[in-house]
Amino acid sequence: MINFEEELKKFHPSLEVEEAEDALYRKNLTDIADLVVELVKEVKDEHES
């Protein structure tokens, strides 16, 4: 039978995952909110012109 407490003590996240997290957090990723704000700004600028 698996002893989950013992298995959890042995667990160490892989370095690849940690490196990927660091890379993602350092990048300025555009999300859907950023795109909507940009679109609204463009439409507003077009109507003011």
The pLDDT assigned to 22 comes to: 83
Which pLDDT band, with edges at 50, 70 and 90, does 13 fall under?
Answer: confident
The pLDDT assigned to 40 comes to: 95
Tell me how far apart the alpha carbons of residues 40 and 36 are, in angstroms, rounded to a whole number: 6
Burial category of 19 from C-beta neighbours within 10 Å (exposed 0-12, middle 13-18, buried 19 and up)? exposed
pLDDT exceeds cutoff 80 at 15:
no
Share above pLDDT 70 across residues of the chain, in percent, rounded to a whole number = 100
What separation, in Å, do the N-terminal and C-terminal C-alpha atoms of the chain show? Answer: 72
The pLDDT assigned to 42 comes to: 95
Quote the tokens at residue 19: 């490196």
pLDDT in tens, 25-43: 887 777 888 899 999 999 9
